[in-house]
Structures are given as structure tokens and as C-alpha cells.
Amino acid sequence: MKRDGAPLFIDTSVCLCVSISHSLVLSQSTATQFLSRQRRANSLFEESKKGNLERECIEELCDKEEAREIFENHPETEYFYPKYVGKFAECIIICVCVSNTVCCMAEISDQCTPPPCYKEGAKLCVDGQASFTCQCKPGWKGTRCENDIDECSDPEFPAGCNQICYNLPGSFHCACENGYFTNDKVNCVDIDECLMYPSICKEPAKCVNTPGMYECQCPLGFKYNFTFKTCNDIDECELSVCHGTCINTVGSYACHCDGREGQHLAQNERYCERIPVCVELYDYKHPEMLYLGEQFAGLPVIYLRFRLPENTKFAAEFDFRTFDPEGVVLYAESSHDSWFMLGLRGGRIEVQFKNQHTFKVTSGGKAINDGQWHVISVDELESSISVKISKEAVMSINSPDSLFTSVNGKLETKVYIAGLPNRTDVIKPINPRLDGCIRGWNLMNQGASGVKEVIQEKKSKHCFVYVERGSYFTGAGLAHFNIDYSDSGSWKVDVQMNIRPSSSTGVLFALVHNHKVPLSVAVNLQVFLDGVSVATLDSLMLCYPERLTVQLNVTPTEIQISANSSTVTYMKSDALQEALKHFNSTMQSPISTYIGGIPDDVPLPATPVTAFYHGCMDITIAGQQLDFDEALGKHNSIKSHSCPPVSAPESRPEATQHHRP
């Protein structure tokens, strides 16, 4: 900055300032006058004057305080003094005045020359006290305006872009994502493709605008193919939407749980859960009660071998209980030609035996298949066989010689409890299967003969403590029958079921043909034709301790179902007649009858209900009650003629020492 009348040496490369207007050589008197110039006095008057650069720092050497008095500010003093001190010792400062003009440098140079500010970022340089100030253009910052402001990330200078921001030198640019446009260079607005391009989606898909894009929405269960512009079926099963078995259908899917494994579909129709018990039964068993119907094959449940003295007579005594009218209780032999069988036929005791001398078939006494315990005893006497029920003789059969033949002084006897051994031919055919129990046995006068220890740990051989009349399905299997439904040149399905379900789902009755289920009735009293519900009974008696009687009649033109305390709803007439027409066609072919479930070879989608029935049931078809001992096949868990009660009878001694199965 210039000070009036105060020359300033700034240039660091030139120490001699000469004005060449006439002659470079001074006269002797002039030179002497300049070189002998006196140092100024530092009197009080002198110090009271304003500082003068020429007088104080050029004519003589000044200190920093004197320089501050001259500039009267700190920045210029700090700028000048270091340069002044550094060069004073190196140079002789000569100012030659010509024509009363001071020719020495008289100001601090302009700090904006040469330009110190960044050209691209500065709009103006302002000279200051030994300094300069760069005024920046918008979008720049820094002492020299050399730093670009990133408006896209700098919170002090936000660009304000609605979506995408691009930083530029000294500026920025706002952009929009696909599906948007901007009309103010900052904010983005959604493009409504459905409005701009009405035919962008092909039927049956509908165009739905979404932020930044659009969707071609197909009907539920379909997905739009943008390549072919079609609605394609979604295979939901590939998305693992089902916990059990998933069946994809056009536009939908169905989750199935295999009821044959004790599962059913939960309320969310996706997950499988265990089928709950809705009516608890008193199904306790006793470890010392032997169940005679363990094997549907009719084979013995216990085999014993006795080797006794040759004069030993055959003897057997035990307590016996059953509702079954026919079956084998006991079979004994010493050889194929000498054997003895004790059984039931029509509920009465029947004896068949054969030895070297004779063979006989005899029955007698009253029917004992009443579900009560009876003491049965068989004794071989000298010339007869005595059979007693509760100590009362009911049969005395003449026998001229011993039942069994001894060998080498020993009587070897094999005793089979319940059923017949393989390749056994009796005199009069009999169903070997027997649903009954024995306890307290004494065979060949040898006591329990180790039978108790044999059956103790085998719960399948244990009997229920209490039973009622009826057939019991445990929910583990079914029974298979071959039944002829023909009726006067046509056919008729006439079924009556007396049921007490213990669970809320399961198959009561089903007709199966070629791995399909043309007719089935479920526990919830729904009737299905080819898997479609055609009739539903609404009853308050389901999952109830009392039994419910259900009547079903189906002909080629009509279907009827009824039950006590219930109302029924049928499919619409036209649809029902069409379903019956198709069912009539199926009934012209051989068909299998299943009670209590669906066979394993029927796929899950064939019928809505696949669970095995759990509960008690008596079933009559065409007026004939089914005997499950006479089925083509039956799961071993099904009790043909006994069912555990809902509660135990009062004051019964056998209620002690029992366990759950």
C-alpha cells in the first residue's frame, strides 16, 4: 500500500535506484551533500510526528517498532520488515532525486498481481494489507477458491436432488431413475406407463402403475411373461409353500398331509399337524392278560412245549373273556395224527380232536361271548374228556384211549394258545382268529409255565382291562373287504355305521377302483364322489361319548345320508346328478371296499381325507354286519369285537395293576 512521501524498497533483486534523465555522475558538492547526510535526532518532537518510511527506514536503519508506527497495522509490518532487514545489509540504498522528484519505490506491491486465486473458482481478487482475498464463484471454496464443492455429499451445500446427484466442477447435475422425469431439474416425478401406453400389458393381465415402473398383474396363481406377453401358471410347489405334499394345479396349488401317518392339514392350509384326540378312552392294559387276537394271520400268539411222564393226562384251565362268536382258543398236539382243539363257534364251546383211534367234533353249553370272564377247564379223564364252564360241566366226550401218544416213556406235547400252526387241517373248518383274552392259566398242571414272563414286556400281547362290544380302530390301519353291491340288475350301496369317533377326522368307509376313490365317507360326515364333497351332515354328536348311527344310501340316481340329531346339505342338483352319472360308470367295474382308511397305493390328491379312523364302530352293509376277522386283510391293531370304553366301570377288581398301551 502506498504511503504519501514514503518510498519503500520491496524489490529483492535491485538495490540501487537511479533516475537517468541528464547524467549518471553527480557533481562533487552534490554527492558530498548526499553521502554526509546527518542522522535525524530522536527528540521528543521528532517522536511525536507520524512515522515516515523515507525518513525512518530509508535514510537510516529503522527497527520493527518504528516500521509498525509507519504502517500502523500488523499485517503490513509483518510483510515488510523481514524483507527490509534481510536486504539492508546487502545493498547501499541510493535515491537520486532529479527535478525534485523522489525516484525510489514508494508502495507495497498489489497482492492480486500476479493473480493468486484459482482461475476456474474465483470471480474476484481483493488486495488487502499485505494480503489478498479471493471471492469464489458459486460451487467453489478455499483460500484461493481452488476446492470444488461436492454438493452431492457436502451437508453445508446440499444440492437438493430428489433421486440421483452428479457432482461437476463448480456445479452439480440432478438426474432421475428409470420411470421418472424432472420438470424443475431437481425433483423427480413418476411416469405413469399405464396411462402413456394403454396396451402395454396383454389380456388377461392388467397394467398397474407403481413408483418408477409398472406391473402386468395376472389373475391369482399366474405370472406375466414379458417376452411372450402371456400369463403363465406359477408352480407354487417350487416355492416350498407346503409343509407336507404339494400338488400344483392351474392357477393354484393344494397342500396335502398324509393322514395315514397321523397328520392333517392345519387351519392355515399349509402346515401339517398331529391329529388330536377329541374323546379319550379308558384304554389301559393289564400285563397278565394275554390278548388272543394279536395276529390277523391266525397264527398262535404263544407256543409251549411240554415233556412229561407218559401217564400224564392233558389238562388246561384259564379265565376267558370275549365278544367274538368264533375262533380258536387252544390247540395241542403230540403228532400230526394226535391233536386237540378248543374253540368257539356261534359263541359256544367247540371241541375237535383226533388220535389213533377216533376223531370227533362236539359243541355244547351256552354262548359265552358276552364280554364277561368265564373259567374254562378241560380235563382228560380215563375214558372221556370233560369240559367245564365256571366249574359246571357242559361236555363229556367219550375217548377210548389217551389223546396223545408217548414216545420212549415220555409224553411230548406242544400247546398253541390262540390260532392254528401252519399246515394244520382240522376236521371242521373254523376261523382261527379270535378277539379275546385269557388270564390265570394253568396248562398241563404246570401252572403259568413261564407264559407270564414271556408276555410281560410285549404290550401287543396285553389285553385291555375293560372292553365293550364293537370294533376298535386305533388310527393305525384299515380293513379290506370284497363286497358285491349288485341289486336286481343294478347296484346299491346301503351302509349303516354305528360310530363313536375319538378323533375329528378319518375315513369311515371308502370304495376304491384303479387307485382312485369314487366314494368315501369321512368322520365329519362328509360324502365325497371322486374327491368332491356332495353331501355334508352337521351333527352335534361328533367327538361325543355317545355313539352315533349314520345311514348312507347311494343308487345310480340318488344319494342320501342321515344321522340322529343332524341336518344335511347336498350339492346342487345338476352337479350332483353329473357326479352320480360318473359314479354309476365306475360301479360297472370291480371295486374294493375299505373300512377305516385308504390303502397306501392311493395317491394323496385322490381324496381330501386320508387319515385312518380312530374310534369304535359297527358297520352293516346290505343288512349284513361285517366281521373284521373275516376281512381279506386287516391291520393287526384293529380289534374285531372289542372296544375300550370311555370310562372304567365302577368297583371292578381288575382295575388295578394296569398301564396305557
Q: Is the pLDDT of residue 341 over 80?
A: yes
Last residue of a domain, one of 438, 464, 490: 464
Same domain? For 420 and 304 the reply is: yes
Q: Is the pLDDT of residue 26 over 80?
A: no
Last residue of a domain, one of 66, 95, 124: 95
Q: Copy the grid coordinates of residue 250.
A: 392351474
pLDDT digits (tens, 9 = 90+) for 118-143: 999 999 999 887 789 999 999 999 99
Q: 341: part of which helix (H) or strand (E)?
A: strand 338-345
| 421 domain-assigned | yes
- Whether 260 and 611 have beta carbons less than 8 Å apart is answered as yes
- CATH value at residue 252: 2.10.25
Q: How far is CA 231 from CA 214, 219, 313, 377, in A?
A: 16, 8, 87, 80
Same domain? For 446 and 475 the reply is: no
pLDDT digits (tens, 9 = 90+) for 479-529: 999 999 998 889 999 999 999 999 999 999 999 999 999 999 999 999 999
Give the pLDDT of residue 16.
Answer: 40
**What is the residue whose three cell numbers read 376281512?**
631
Give yes or no for a cis peptide into 204 (omega within 30° of 0).
yes
Give the pLDDT of residue 479.
Answer: 98
Give the whole-angstrom CA distance, residue 603 versus residue 475: 19
| 178 domain-assigned | no
How many structural domains is the chain composed of? 5
- Tallying the residues shown for the chain, one arrives at 661
Can you give the pTM of this predicted structure?
0.69
Q: What is the mean pLDDT of the chain?
A: 85
pLDDT digits (tens, 9 = 90+) for 399-452: 877 888 888 888 889 999 999 998 788 899 999 999 999 999 999 998 887 777
| 112 domain-assigned | no
Same domain? For 492 and 600 the reply is: yes
Same domain? For 380 and 494 the reply is: no
| 160 domain-assigned | no
pLDDT digits (tens, 9 = 90+) for 282-310: 999 999 999 999 989 989 998 889 999 88
Same domain? For 220 and 260 the reply is: no
pLDDT grade for 12, boundaries at 50, 70 and 90? very low
SS3 call for 451? helix
pLDDT grade for 55, boundaries at 50, 70 and 90? low
Give the pLDDT of residue 59.
Answer: 55
pLDDT grade for 92, boundaries at 50, 70 and 90? very low
Give the whole-angstrom CA distance, residue 92 versus residue 37: 14
Averaged pLDDT for residues 59-84 = 69
The answer for residues whose C-beta is within 8 angstroms of residue 518's C-beta and 6 or more apart is 511, 512, 529, 530, 582, 583, 586, 587, 591
pLDDT digits (tens, 9 = 90+) for 570-621: 999 999 999 999 999 999 999 999 999 999 999 988 899 999 999 999 999 9
Same domain? For 446 and 545 the reply is: no
Averaged pLDDT for residues 260-274 = 91
Same domain? For 334 and 460 the reply is: yes
Same domain? For 344 and 492 the reply is: no
Give the pLDDT of residue 24.
Answer: 45
| 151 domain-assigned | no
Same domain? For 485 and 459 the reply is: no
Give the whole-angstrom CA distance, residue 119 versus residue 116: 9
Same domain? For 360 and 453 the reply is: yes
- CATH value at residue 452: 2.60.120.200
Averaged pLDDT for residues 45-74 = 61
| 640 domain-assigned | no
Q: Copy the grid coordinates of residue 169.
A: 466442477
Q: How far is CA 147 from CA 120, 134, 158, 477, 596, in A?
A: 10, 12, 16, 86, 87
Last residue of a domain, one of 464, 498, 527: 464
Give the whole-angstrom CA distance, residue 243 versus residue 263: 11
Give the pLDDT of residue 53.
Answer: 57
pLDDT grade for 457, boundaries at 50, 70 and 90? confident
Residue 368 belongs to domain spanning: 285-464
pLDDT digits (tens, 9 = 90+) for 195-250: 999 999 999 999 999 999 999 999 999 999 999 999 999 999 999 899 889 999 99
Give the whole-angstrom CA distance, residue 244 versus residue 247: 10
pLDDT grade for 460, boundaries at 50, 70 and 90? confident
| 476 domain-assigned | yes
C-alpha closest to that of 329 among 369, 386, 278, 280: 369
Give the pLDDT of residue 655.
Answer: 45
| 53 domain-assigned | yes
Same domain? For 219 and 294 the reply is: no
Classify the C-alpha dihedral 391-397-400-405 as positive or negative.
negative
Same domain? For 480 and 620 the reply is: yes
